[in-house]
């Protein structure tokens, strides 16, 4: 019997949302029930598919979309919590989180070439942050940061 991804996309997160909403007041941590239900949904799908090999839902796209939602949510949570001086690292943070999400979905790790490219990307942004003390560079960095804020 072929499973219906739309059904599971509605049912699993909804059940988890209700469950997390009910238990939230009894546990000491603060968390978003929407984010928690999405995270637990793709975690269930991932464990079912990759670890238990049962894969009751044969749909990698659905799991990947849910992981992408968690990546975006974690990215915005991170931006809210880190000091503004580190916002220059938004792009490499997002790329790194995306690689992590892809690695989870594919159950693989990146190759050496890709790792080196990622390190170079981080180094470029680290240099940008270090040289942003210079007025000309600071102006360019400010323009980079404004791109996400002022569009």
Q: What is the pLDDT of residue 5?
A: 77
Cα separation of 75 and 85, whole Å? 16
The token duo for 99 is: 């690689």
Q: Please state the domain extents for the chain.
A: 5-149
Which residue ranges in the chain fall short of pLDDT 50? 1
Cα separation of 138 and 13, whole Å? 44
Q: How crowded is residue 37: how many other Cβ atoms within 10 Å of its Cβ? A: 20
Cα separation of 23 and 16, whole Å? 10
Q: C-alpha distances in angstroms, 2 versus 5, 53, 64? A: 9, 16, 19
The token duo for 74 is: 């974690």
Say how far residue 15 (Cα) sits from the centre of its chain: 22
> Are the C-beta atoms of residues 38 and 73 closer than 8 Å to each other?
yes
Alpha helices in the chain (DSSP H): 5-23, 33-46, 60-81, 90-106, 112-131, 135-149
| Global pTM value | 0.79
The pLDDT mean for the chain works out to: 85
């Amino acid at each position: 019997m072929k499973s219906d991804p739309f059904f599971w996309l509605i049912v699993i997160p909804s059940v988890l949302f209700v469950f997390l909403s009910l238990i939230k007041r009894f546990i000491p941590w603060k968390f978003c029930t929407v984010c928690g239900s999405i995270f637990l949904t793709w975690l269930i799908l991932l464990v079912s598919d990759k670890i238990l090999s049962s894969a009751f839902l044969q749909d990698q796209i659905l799991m990947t979309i849910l992981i992408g939602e968690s990546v975006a949510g974690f990215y915005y949570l991170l931006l809210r919590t880190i000091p503004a001086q580190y916002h220059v690292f938004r792009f490499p943070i997002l790329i790194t989180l995306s690689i992590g999400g892809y690695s989870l979905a594919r159950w693989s790790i990146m190759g050496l070439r890709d790792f080196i490219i990622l390190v170079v990307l981080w180094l470029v942004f680290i240099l940008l942050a270090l040289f942003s003390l210079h007025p000309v560079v600071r102006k360019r960095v400010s323009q980079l940061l404004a791109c996400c804020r002022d569009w």
